Amino acid sequence: MSFPLLTATAVVPAVGALATAAVPAARRTAAKWLALGFALATLVLSAAQLVRFDPDAAGPFQLTESHAWIKDFGVRYDLGVDGISVVLIALTALLIPFVVLAGWHDADPLEDASTRWRPTQGFFALILMVEAMVVIAFEATDVFLFYIFFEAMLIPMYFLIGGFGDRAGERGEAETAAQRSYAAVKFLLYNLVGGLIMLAAVIGLYAVTAHQLGTGTFSLTEIVQARANGSLEFATTTERALFLGFFFAFAVKAPLWPLHTWLPNAMGEATAPVAVLITAVVDKVGTFAMLRFCLQLFPEASKWATPVILVLSLISILYGALLAVGQRDIKRLIAYASISHFGFIVLGIFAMTTQGQGGATLYMVNHGISTAALMLVAGFLISRRGSRLIADYGGVQKVAPVLAGTFLVGGLATLSLPGLAPFVSEFLVLVGTFSRYPVIGVLATVGIVLAALYVLVLYQRTMTGPVAEPVRGMPDLRARELVVVAPLIVLLLVLGVYPKPVTRIVEPAVEHTMSQVHQSDPKPDVHVNDVEAAK
């Protein structure tokens, strides 16, 4: 088929953003429905990608599109998807309609509209623009094209965090605005610094290819092929320097300790739907890029850096979980839990095993769904009480049992309870890590124990016990909120007992990545005498 499906999947939300922004100010409801319609259309296109994608097909990328762009600098408009990117595009397209629905009233005018106006159209337009940029980042197979959208997505995210945060609540409008501004600037500066370092590495990559191949290129496919046939070789120090430039930017976006400190501020000050957009969608670009670009472009440097990265991942797992245990703020607790989970994802990627990398990719999907479910229900809870503090709640399950029940399922998924989707991915990551790095694998399991602690304590303090006075009369989930939460709960259950539809798509791409890094799974250490004794 000649239809440019990959381009269309990115263009539709971009057009939707422009159309939503153009809706007259008095037609706020029309803007919301228009944004939802474009989000659903993007979901249909991502489903078409999944239908047309053949996991058994030869070659690393499918549904490819290639056009000359900036010929003088070797920049091309090259798109393609493998099993990893196609499922992450599907995750993005799946979550955005729920983000739109959950944020249906988040940008409505305040009661004192004479003093402040929240532009509803702009809020939903920015969400769609983020979706368009994330989708094309997942599709790009030209390094420069990827870099452009990797950086460009920071702009709409900055305005979503700084301009559309939570209502003032008990802090007052001035203090709330100051905190939002601080969180947005911190998010932007951290990611811009990472992006500038990556830009230097991208230019360095072009210079090396121009020197050795005669013409510079940013094409991932051409560079990988040139390295395979020996026509392109990196000096050891050059490859390591370029790898570090790429990895630093991706580690900021991921986020990996110690480059994580922007995330709790951003998620804490953003609305719950925007917090989901940050951790379940945008941050996945960082871990995805580690698989697509770090490992495939710089295989030897990736192996060189693996011991340090595994230690950083382990610190992220334990540090994030420990800080989540001590949090008094619901949203910041979920943010630190996400830091711990991203540690598991990076651990699986650099364990250099098919189980680890397959589990890491599945973890990206499952973490997106589970965090979306937990954060959105938490957002519904906070909007009712007007406070993010855990101490301001108690006995919610007696007055809003459906809200409490969905909150519990989201929390149990976050702690990777068997039978829910994250358990499978976390198990694969740990098995894949243990088979090559048993000490790190064992230490990482402590994160599971800590996850059970912070989730169950959170539920106990907010949902059980005597009913707190401000909670009395709290309404249960409404129809719109149930439409948001119910499908996510169903997905957590389905993928928890039957993850094969995702793993079947992901496995060939993982095997290809492993071959690019020249790694194979370690063989079991079983001696002949042990086998005979077992008989």
Q: Which two tokens stand for residue 484?
A: 């948001």
The answer to whether residue 413 scores a pLDDT higher than 70 is yes
> pLDDT for 6-24, tens place per residue?
999 999 999 999 999 998 8
Question: At 518, is the pLDDT very low, low, confident or very high (cuts 50, 70, 90)?
Answer: confident
The per-residue pLDDT for 468 is 83
The answer to whether residue 517 scores a pLDDT higher than 60 is yes
Q: Which DSSP string do the residues of 246-304 spell out, in sequence order?
A: HHHHHHHHTT-TTS-THHHHHHHHB-HHHHHIIIIIITHHHHHHIIIIIHHH-HHHHHH
The answer to whether residue 115 scores a pLDDT higher than 60 is no
The answer to whether residue 113 scores a pLDDT higher than 50 is no
Q: Which two tokens stand for residue 490?
A: 């169903």
Stretch 232-261: mean pLDDT: 92
The answer to whether residue 152 scores a pLDDT higher than 70 is yes
The per-residue pLDDT for 535 is 52
Stretch 479-488: mean pLDDT: 94
Cα distance between residue 415 and residue 340, in whole Å? 11
The per-residue pLDDT for 231 is 82
The per-residue pLDDT for 166 is 67
Average pLDDT, the chain: 89
> pLDDT for 87-101, tens place per residue?
999 999 999 999 999
> pLDDT for 321-374, tens place per residue?
999 998 998 999 999 999 999 999 999 999 989 899 999 999 999 999 999 999
The answer to whether residue 529 scores a pLDDT higher than 50 is yes
The per-residue pLDDT for 110 is 63
The answer to whether residue 429 scores a pLDDT higher than 80 is yes
> pLDDT for 155-204, tens place per residue?
999 999 988 876 545 555 667 778 888 899 999 999 999 999 999 999 99
pTM of this structure: 0.90
The answer to whether residue 526 scores a pLDDT higher than 80 is no
The Cβ of residue 185 has, within 10 Å, a number of other Cβ atoms equal to: 15
Stretch 421-440: mean pLDDT: 92
The answer to whether residue 37 scores a pLDDT higher than 60 is yes
Stretch 203-215: mean pLDDT: 88
Q: How many structural domains comprise the chain? A: 1
The per-residue pLDDT for 114 is 42
Q: Can you give the residue range of the structural domain that contains 342?
A: 5-109+117-534
List the one residue out of 346, 365, 145 whose CA is nearest residue 250: 346
Least confident of 107-116, 156-165, 334-343, 458-467: 107-116
The per-residue pLDDT for 531 is 47
The per-residue pLDDT for 527 is 54
Q: Quote the percentage of the chain above a pLDDT of 70.
A: 94
